[in-house]
Each structure stands twice: as structure tokens, then as C-alpha cells.
Structure 1
């Protein structure tokens, strides 16, 4: 896989996959996907920590018991095992998804 992936190239790979997400990069524990849900986000909690970086679109993001608005460029962190989803998003919504670390997530430093 390339070490540099543009939004255009990620979108092309996504469209070719026929899915709402596709992996665009992998290195060690890091897996980067490009995700563009179709009208409804049907995600389930993941077994690893993850980060979203919004590429395009706006909407709201539910993360555990909190909900807030998002826009392009926003960084959203979700600990492993946490219920989360994008809601009320625009048709152009797409996001980078970065999974990393061990199953169960990394422990929070005190």
C-alpha cells in the first residue's frame, strides 16, 4: 500500500470496493480505513481504540453518552468497546478511520 493516500484516491478505492469502508493503509498495529456510510451509520463497537478525522460533510457524533456536532477536519477519539455512531450527517460525509493498539484498547495513563 502507498504511504501517501489522498482523499481522491481513498474515494476511488472505496467506490471500487462496493462497501461503505475500505482499508487504505496498514503498518504494525495501525490500520487506516476510509468510511462513507450510506444514510445510516450501522457501526458496532470495535475491539480496538480508534480515531476519526472527518474528511468531508457535517452532522452529529454520538460517543458513549455524549453527542456533539462535527465538521471537516475534526478529530474524534473512541475508546475500544464504546458504542458510537455518526448521525444526521450530510450526503457528502466521509471520514478517515484509524484503528491502533491492542485488542481491548490502550490503558489511560493516570
Structure 2
């Protein structure tokens, strides 16, 4: 067992910020913070993602739909799907779970 400290704490910067808290081969966990009025620069990932919104308000955009998100929202985004948070009108704090661990799908097999 591991107690994960600082997960879900808003990172007070002037831009979107991601802090990883846990990495094991099958998943990784981090906190994504976007200050109100700022842009989300993320690009599609090669891993599946689950977002758990802890605080704030925004919309999550994909080419197929846009949904409002706020504390309590839980959203699944499949690997490769273009997406980003838009219209962040209150500081957004999101727990992000990647499966497998973020960027491991791009790592070359050493053998």
C-alpha cells in the first residue's frame, strides 16, 4: 500500500500544470491544474484516461461532443481521442489516471 500525498492539490501557476504522483507499469496518477481563464494545451495521449474533477468549472471538448465539468464529474477519454478543457471559468483541479502509465505506450521495447 502507498498513501499518495498532495494528490488533488491545485498547483497555483499562471498556466496549466501537471504533477505526477504515482507511476507503476499499468497506470499513473497525477493532478492537472488549470487556472481560470487559461488555455489547456494538451494533445491526444496514447493511453486511456480517467478524469475526476475535484474543483472548478469548465467544459471538456472533443470533436464529437462538449460537456460541462465540475466537482464530482468523472470522464473517460479513450487513447488517441483529441480533447481539451475549454472555457475554464473557475480554477480547475482534476485527478488524472492513465492506463497504462502515461507515455509508456510510446516507449520502445528494449529487447
- The answer to which structure, 1 or 2, has the higher relative contact order (CA under 8 A, 6+ apart) is 2
Query: Aligned in 2, Cα 1:63/1:3: closer, same or farther, shift over 3 Å?
Result: farther
Q: Show the counterpart of 2:69.
A: 70
Q: TM-score, normalising length from structure 2?
A: 0.75
Partners of 1:40 and 1:82 lie apart in 2 by 18
Question: What is the RMSD computed on CA atoms of the aligned residues?
Answer: 2.5
Alignment match, 2:23? 26
Structure 2 match to 1:35? 32
Normalised to the residue count of structure 1, the TM-score between the two structures is 0.76
In structure 2, relative to structure 1, the CA distance for the partners of 1:89 and 1:19 (3 Å cut) is closer
The number of residues matched between the two structures is 98
Cα deviation 1:9-40 (Å, max 9, x = unaligned) = 2327x56xx97001011233110010112410
Q: 1:20 to 1:77 in 2, by over 3 A?
A: same
SS class of match (1:103): helix
C-alpha distance in 2, partners of 1:61/1:31? 21
Counterpart of 1:107?
none
1:4 and 2:6 correspond = no
Structure 1 segments unaligned to the other structure (5+ residues) = 105-110
CA distance in 1, matches of 2:70, 2:34: 15
- Checking the alignment, whether the CA contact within 8 Å between 1:42 and 1:85 is kept in structure 2 is yes
Give 2:97's aligned residue: 98
SS in 2 for 1:90: strand
Asked whether the 8 Å contact 1:3–1:25 carries over to 2, the reply is no
